[in-house]
Chains A and B, each alone.
Chain A
Amino acid sequence: MTMTPAAWDGSAAPAPASAARRFGISPLVGILAALLLVFLVPPTIYLVQTSLYTTNYDGSFDQFTFRFYIELFTNPRFFNNLVNASIYAIGSAAVALTLGTLQAWIVERTNTPLRQYVFLISIVSLGIPSVLYTVSFLLILGKAGPINQLLMELTGSATPLLNVYSMWGMVIIEGIDFAPLTFLLLSSVFRSNDASFEEASMMSGAGISQTFRHITLRLATPGIMALLILIFIRAFESFETPALVGRPGNVNVLTTDIYQSIQATNPPNYGQAGAFSMALMLIVILLLIWYNRLSRHAEKYQTITGKGFRPRAMDLGKWRFLTAGLLVLMFIIMIGLPVGIVIYASFLPYYEGVTAKSLTQFTLANYAQVFNSASFKGAIGNTLILGAATASLVCPFTALCAWLAARRHRGAWILDQLATMPLIFPAIVMGVAFLNVFLHMPFALYGTLLSVILASMVRYLPYGMRYSYAGVLQVHRELEEASSLSGARQSTTFLRIVVPLITPALITCWLFVFLLSVKAVAAQILLVGPRSQVIAVTLFDLWENGQVTELAAMGVTWMSLMTVVSTIFYLIARRYGLSIR
């Protein structure tokens, strides 16, 4: 352990250092851990408390009770919603995986034309707020939408045939929404497969589809399985699609019930929301344990070995035009149609499907409204600040934690555990927890942008940890040892050697945390006030208030802005060879 520093010079006070040393924790680790605990403990405590106390009319805690848990387990609605949530999560995971796997295979393992654009498109699509994405599919698949119009035309039916406000609607929309992320995560799995297995299969006379099924897919199975659970968890705790698609169709899940107990019950039923949140959290914990077990056995399938590893693309021959066609088709379904319908709706006075009449009514009024509205400008500013602040707080912090953990500083494993802990809070549950923290603060924090940033920072810590870890692991210890041997102090080594080396990973981290935090609704919807409106929540409110065409204009404006951000990032990434996974 020559590399373990006695103390982090400068920053650690001597008194806590000696105390912390006794527990096998280096002082710096102790300080960072304490910081994390400050942000993690209060929301957890308040969440548990909320579920165990009745709430007074003014919102203060009243009496201790198990009532909310008893109600939870005696209410058939809870189990019904649990079943709904499971079907929905499995279904959307299947849709996302099918689309993502196909895309990742075509892009990573074949010589299909156009494949190089899929990355750019996937990253751009990450910038579309989920609410906007969901709304666009409601406009397409709704009873007044073009698909139903077409079907009615074809079948001669007088009433719409498809009801998107249903389980299948939720599954399809959520599945398509997750597909780009699935693709990004899976492409690295496919890339790291050794092509010699596939070549051997082809040489032994197996066809492309046979090779894909028996070799490529088999080798990628652990990666895909782990991803399946990950998407399952995300769908299970997702809020936007169930709220906008499921609730109108009476398909309820746990997250929408939590939202309902607070926002649509008078007075807000915090106890019920707390009990539901605890139940949801428990389920997510169990799923995460399962996920960790599965990903632990992944090394059985490792194909990157010491011998000359070169991933190579498979030559599809003339079939490559078919796969190119598939890519184009997927692009149309996943980006073309939803973005198209939003742009179309943004020029209409009111939306009533795609009709000849609407074409004559094109107007710029929605854009005029959007650009003249102070609240919209405020929302854009708030959202950019939120995203930038979250990313700027999370990435350097997790980079330091990741480095300490990777270099096995005494006790640094605690940092890893703590920084990943927020994963067990579904976004809406984190909203409930932080809402209660802010409501109990002695000073005014509720409803401010700062409060939204703090909650968002905690929410995206695990994501930051993941990207930072990946960066730190790539840096070999030798370089740091060389620095130390030349007499550099630990802090100098970190700032002059480690930081420059992991900068690409930090930039990737920054962009992803930025994009994820600005598109979210669930974590923020319970926290924002009229002075701290953010784009995603504003879009959600506009949908509920029926201002669909204004929503579309606002959505188009925001998407354009995010596309510029993502494209700049993509170009930087290509220029400097950054990893975009």
Chain B
Amino acid sequence: MTSRIVNRTNSRDILSALAISAALLWAAPAHALTQAEIGDLQGPERQKILEDGARKEGKVTIYSGMIVDQALRPITEAFMKKYPYIKAEYWRADSNKIVQKILAEARAKSIVADVAESTSLSEPLIKANVVLPFNSPQLEAYPADYRDPRRFWGATRFSYFGVAYNTNMIKAADAPKSYEDLLDPKWKGKLAWREGSDSGNLLFITNIIMEMGEQKADAYFQKLAQQKIVNFTGSARTLVNNVMSGEYPMALNIFLHHPVISAQKGAPVAALPLQPVPSLNGTVLFVKGAPNPHAAMLLIDYMLSKEGQATLEAADYLPAHPDASTNAILASIIPKKAGLKENFITPQKLFDLNDKAEDALKKYFKN
């Protein structure tokens, strides 16, 4: 015990000595680094500067849409193991709530979040000017599509969306095979989708508009509205749990890996991709005004690293790192592997089509 403490003190002294010399060597003026400068850090001294700063900060807060017991808790715990002097706190919410919270914090000049991570939150945050660009050596391994040219985000994970149904209530042979099949009157009152989230019913509508064109999509929605779809308001994971427990026989536009994970554990649920399969990438962002910018950058690095991505893989998520493998059981829902047509919707495109999708939602499904 004693020797470990001594060791740690020693290494801390050495590290801070290194950091001080690094700071002196650094071309920047002698003042403490601004947050923008921390984001822009590059080169061999970066890690030491970050670690030294993070030691003083001692904590970091992430807002994320990852499900707590599956991915968010494991990845923050693994991060704390790597950096025992940083206490990582998380707050889980759907993307919209995260965006709302960060905008409110920025307005009130009372910023708590250091890092934001989820699907479909990058564009609103960038547009509202509440995030800063950053460099991460980890991003070098990623293909260009998986990182923002403006350096505002890096891709953390992929999500493929489709149908989940309760296998006790619906036989595989009877399950819908296409979006048209969803219009069958036999599904009336049996469908649920997520309301109030960009990756919920809005994504479903966006995907249909992109696939069919506005006019045909309009006619489709008119018919789909007859099915009296339940507007579920919890997380996508909760919706799948409700399908498993028999609360709703079938859910539209959920994260396809969720039912796969549960089916593996024996739950009566199946994942059903409909073509084209809409897909989004999760992104991680550096919040402007973050109270713990050094620790924030370390956490972002970690989430993008092969090591951090491995915790996502272990949680049966779909990591974005090109070297990370995905669990074999997920092959059936990854369009490239299953030979299905995919519609990859970039954050920008999702954002651009948001108003049209909102209009359709209001017109057909909200009254």
- Would B91 and A530 count as touching, CB distance under 8 A? yes
Nearest CB of chain A from residue B154's CB, rounded to whole Å: 22
Find A266's partner among B68, B96, B109, B129 (CB 8 Å cutoff): B96
The distance in angstroms between the C-alpha atoms of A249 and B228, with both chains bound, is 10
Q: Does B110 contact A (CB under 8 A)?
A: yes
State the majority secondary structure of interface residues on A: loop
A77 contacts which chain B residues (CB < 8 A)? 366-367
B233 contacts which chain A residues (CB < 8 A)? 243, 247-248, 264, 544
Which A residue's beta carbon lies closest to that of B248? A143
The distance in angstroms between the C-alpha atoms of A142 and B59, with both chains bound, is 41
Say which one of A52-60, A183-191, A277-285 lies at the interface with B.
Answer: A52-60
The distance in angstroms between the C-alpha atoms of A446 and B247, with both chains bound, is 38
Most interface-central of B87, B124, B230 (chain A CB within 10 A): B230
Which A residue's beta carbon lies closest to that of B365? A250
- Would B68 and A58 count as touching, CB distance under 8 A? no
Q: Does B346 contact A (CB under 8 A)?
A: no
Q: Give me the 3 closest cross-chain CB pairs, A-B, nearest first.
A: A264-B196, A446-B108, A546-B238
Q: Does B241 contact A (CB under 8 A)?
A: yes
Q: Does A543 contact B (CB under 8 A)?
A: yes
The distance in angstroms between the C-alpha atoms of A218 and B116, with both chains bound, is 61
Q: Does B52 contact A (CB under 8 A)?
A: no
A58 contacts which chain B residues (CB < 8 A)? 103, 106-107, 128-130
B138 contacts which chain A residues (CB < 8 A)? none
Residues 428-461 of A at the B interface (beta carbon under 8 Å): 435, 438-448
- Would B354 and A266 count as touching, CB distance under 8 A? yes
Number of interface residues of A (CB under 8 A): 55
Which A residue's beta carbon lies closest to that of B366? A77
- Would B197 and A529 count as touching, CB distance under 8 A? no
Interface string of B88-122 (1 = CB under 8 A from A): 01011111110111011111111011000000000
Which B residue's beta carbon lies closest to that of A378? B89
B61 contacts which chain A residues (CB < 8 A)? 530
Which A residue's beta carbon lies closest to that of B91? A530
Nearest CB of chain A from residue B266's CB, rounded to whole Å: 10
- Would A546 and B67 count as touching, CB distance under 8 A? yes
Q: Does A65 contact B (CB under 8 A)?
A: no
A interface residues, Cβ below 8 angstroms from B: 57-60, 76-77, 80, 142-144, 159-160, 165, 243, 247-250, 260, 262-268, 350-353, 374-375, 435, 438-448, 529-531, 541, 543-548, 550
Which A residue's beta carbon lies closest to that of B233? A247
B195 contacts which chain A residues (CB < 8 A)? 247, 264
Which A residue's beta carbon lies closest to that of B358? A265
B68 contacts which chain A residues (CB < 8 A)? 545, 547
- 16 chain-A/chain-B pairs, Cβ below 8 angstroms: A58-B103, A143-B247, A144-B247, A160-B246, A248-B192, A262-B100, A266-B99, A267-B99, A350-B241, A351-B245, A439-B104, A447-B110, A544-B94, A544-B233, A546-B241, A548-B241
B198 contacts which chain A residues (CB < 8 A)? 266
Nearest CB of chain A from residue B136's CB, rounded to whole Å: 24
Nearest CB of chain A from residue B128's CB, rounded to whole Å: 5
Most interface-central of A265, A435, A440, A546 (chain B CB within 10 A): A546
Residues 211-253 of B at the A interface (beta carbon under 8 Å): 228, 230-235, 237-238, 241, 244-247
The distance in angstroms between the C-alpha atoms of A249 and B198, with both chains bound, is 20
The distance in angstroms between the C-alpha atoms of A144 and B246, with both chains bound, is 6
The distance in angstroms between the C-alpha atoms of A529 and B113, with both chains bound, is 10
B96 contacts which chain A residues (CB < 8 A)? 263-266
- Would B238 and A545 count as touching, CB distance under 8 A? yes
The distance in angstroms between the C-alpha atoms of A58 and B124, with both chains bound, is 10
Other contacts beyond A263-B196, A266-B198, A545-B68: 16, CB < 8 A: A58-B106, A143-B245, A165-B230, A250-B228, A250-B231, A263-B96, A264-B96, A265-B196, A266-B99, A266-B100, A267-B128, A374-B87, A374-B89, A541-B92, A544-B94, A546-B238
Which B residue's beta carbon lies closest to that of A448? B110
The distance in angstroms between the C-alpha atoms of A77 and B63, with both chains bound, is 33
Which A residue's beta carbon lies closest to that of B95? A266
Q: Does B169 contact A (CB under 8 A)?
A: yes
- Would B63 and A530 count as touching, CB distance under 8 A? yes
A268 contacts which chain B residues (CB < 8 A)? 100, 103
The distance in angstroms between the C-alpha atoms of A266 and B124, with both chains bound, is 8
Find A545's partner among B92, B106, B232 (CB 8 Å cutoff): B92
Q: Does B174 contact A (CB under 8 A)?
A: no
- Would B230 and A250 count as touching, CB distance under 8 A? yes
Find A352's partner among B112, B196, B234, B244 (CB 8 Å cutoff): B244
- Would B234 and A545 count as touching, CB distance under 8 A? yes
B180 contacts which chain A residues (CB < 8 A)? none
Contact A446 B234, CB 8 Å, known A351-B245, A439-B104, A530-B89:
no
